[in-house]
């Protein structure tokens, strides 16, 4: 009798559908929004958006920007916490890391080499594409005017540039984010399992505690002078891209998911309340841009540009989870989701392409800016769709 019951239980376990992880369609659109804002930021810093100067209400959104890199860390932490939501699932760190490297590093490697070639040509002084016999002279002339070119290339390819940016020139600047993301990925399996053993009170305390390192970093930034850096710009770049501090933003996203699963934010599932929350948080994000003041202490501006937005990004993310509300419905549109799924690729490739585009046309026109954005997001989406298709094709038929 017991043997029959055991056999029936085994059969039921074998035929039971696997529990799917949570999926939140609106977050694909949020990825796209953050990606576009950062690409526009770097277009503006390359003087490609001069025609927008008349729109004083919009320039803070682009120049600040409203959705900075921290959005990606909160979002990634939330999504990976949902991916590892089964406390019994033990994911080996090494295979998981190699999977993430295969997904992101190859593109970074190619774009870094491309940017290196572009800068060699730019510094060489050539105003035309060199012929075959001129390539050697062009290469040597460009290298001679660059600052530590080979060391810079090595730092970017080994993902160590974010720790010592003053030791090498900037090639593909978004490479700094991969350094901190890979640090985050390394602790994701362990931290996910640990989170599921914590009660709601501990999760609340942890969600607040994770802001302390960023606040202390801002205080140190504001009180430490120029340190060993050449000036404010070099110091800010180091504090902005220092990988370990970004890990806490990622962990905050993971804790938000656990609080969400605890039902803390169920009230946001109401249709009207989701829309109100989205409008309110968007207004707060926009208002926070005007807290940045040239005459304020640098630490205050750093806090307003880093720590405060992380809290607001988390609130905005939570307001989208139900798929209700005006912004969530826009983000759930099919084409928006499809492009949003590929939106980290434009972040990795846009800087070299901006440099190339300036050599081909004047980006400081609305038409050329639009063409550039369409090109970047189209090739990124097609690339992502190709990878998805190949992945599905490689799976054995059931």
Residues 306-338 pLDDT 10s: 999 999 999 999 999 999 999 999 999 999 999
Cβ neighbors of 78 (< 8 A, separation 6 or more) are: 27, 253, 254, 256, 257, 317
Q: How far apart are CA 134 and CA 236, in angstroms?
A: 39
C-alpha R_g of the chain: 23
pLDDT value for 243 = 86
Q: Tell me the per-residue pLDDT of 269-309, one tens digit each, with 9 for 90 and over.
A: 887 899 999 999 999 999 999 999 889 999 999 999 999 99
Q: N- to C-terminal Cα distance for the chain?
A: 34
pLDDT value for 88 = 65
pLDDT string in tens for the chain (398-residue length): 444 544 444 444 444 344 445 789 999 999 999 999 999 999 999 999 999 988 888 999 998 899 989 999 999 999 999 888 766 666 677 777 777 777 788 888 999 999 999 999 999 999 888 888 999 999 999 999 998 999 999 999 999 999 999 898 888 888 889 999 999 988 898 898 899 889 999 999 999 999 999 999 999 999 998 888 888 888 999 999 998 899 999 999 999 999 999 999 999 988 789 999 999 999 999 999 999 988 999 999 999 999 999 999 999 999 999 999 999 999 999 999 999 999 989 998 999 999 999 988 999 999 999 999 999 999 999 999 988 888 777 776 65
pLDDT value for 129 = 86
Number of H helices, E strands in the chain: 19, 0
| ∠ CA 87-81-157, rounded to 5° | 120
Q: How far apart are CA 52 and CA 293, in angstroms?
A: 21
Integer angstrom CA distances of residue 247 from 251, 259, 273: 6, 19, 31
pLDDT value for 346 = 93
DSSP state of 51: G
pLDDT value for 392 = 79
pLDDT value for 180 = 92
pLDDT value for 5 = 46
Integer angstrom CA distances of residue 382 from 42, 160, 262, 355, 367: 23, 30, 37, 22, 22
pLDDT value for 106 = 87
């Amino acid at each position: 009798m017991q043997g029959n019951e055991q056999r029936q239980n085994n059969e039921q376990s074998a035929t039971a559908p696997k529990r799917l992880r949570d999926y939140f369609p609106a977050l694909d659109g949020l990825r796209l929004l953050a990606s576009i804002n950062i690409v526009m930021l770097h277009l503006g810093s390359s003087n490609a958006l001069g025609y927008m100067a008349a729109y004083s209400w919009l320039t803070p959104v682009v120049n600040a920007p409203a959705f900075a890199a921290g959005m990606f860390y909160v979002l990634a932490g939330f999504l990976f916490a949902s991916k590892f939501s089964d406390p019994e699932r033990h994911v080996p760190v090494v295979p998981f890391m190699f999977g993430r490297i295969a997904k992101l590093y190859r593109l970074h490697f190619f774009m870094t080499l491309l940017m290196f070639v572009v800068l060699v040509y730019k510094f060489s002084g050539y105003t035309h594409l060199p012929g075959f016999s001129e390539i050697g002279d062009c290469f040597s002339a460009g290298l001679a005017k660059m600052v530590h070119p080979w060391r810079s290339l090595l730092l970017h390819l080994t993902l160590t540039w974010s720790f010592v940016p003053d030791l090498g020139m900037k090639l593909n600047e978004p490479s700094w984010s991969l350094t901190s993301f890979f640090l985050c990925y390394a602790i994701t399996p362990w931290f996910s399992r640990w989170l599921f053993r914590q009660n709601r009170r501990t999760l609340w305390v942890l969600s607040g505690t994770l802001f302390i390192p960023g606040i202390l970093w801002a205080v140190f930034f504001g009180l430490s002078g120029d340190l060993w850096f050449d000036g404010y710009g070099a110091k800010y770049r180091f504090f902005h891209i220092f990988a370990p501090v970004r890990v806490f933003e990622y962990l905050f996203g993971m804790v938000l998911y656990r609080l969400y699963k605890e039902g803390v934010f169920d009230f946001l599932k109401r249709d009207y309340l989701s829309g109100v929350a989205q409008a309110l948080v968007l207004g707060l994000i926009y208002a926070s841009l005007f807290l940045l003041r040239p005459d304020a202490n640098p630490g205050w501006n750093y806090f307003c540009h880093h720590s405060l937005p992380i809290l607001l990004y988390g609130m905005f993310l939570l307001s989208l989870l139900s798929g209700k509300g005006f912004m969530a419905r826009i983000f759930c549109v099919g084409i928006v989701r499809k492009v949003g799924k590929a939106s980290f690729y434009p972040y990795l490739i846009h800087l070299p392409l901006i440099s190339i585009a300036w050599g081909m046309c004047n980006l400081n026109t609305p038409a050329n800016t639009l063409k550039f954005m369409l090109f970047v997001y189209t090739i990124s989406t097609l690339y992502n769709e190709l990878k998805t298709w190949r992945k599905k094709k490689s799976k054995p038929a059931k």
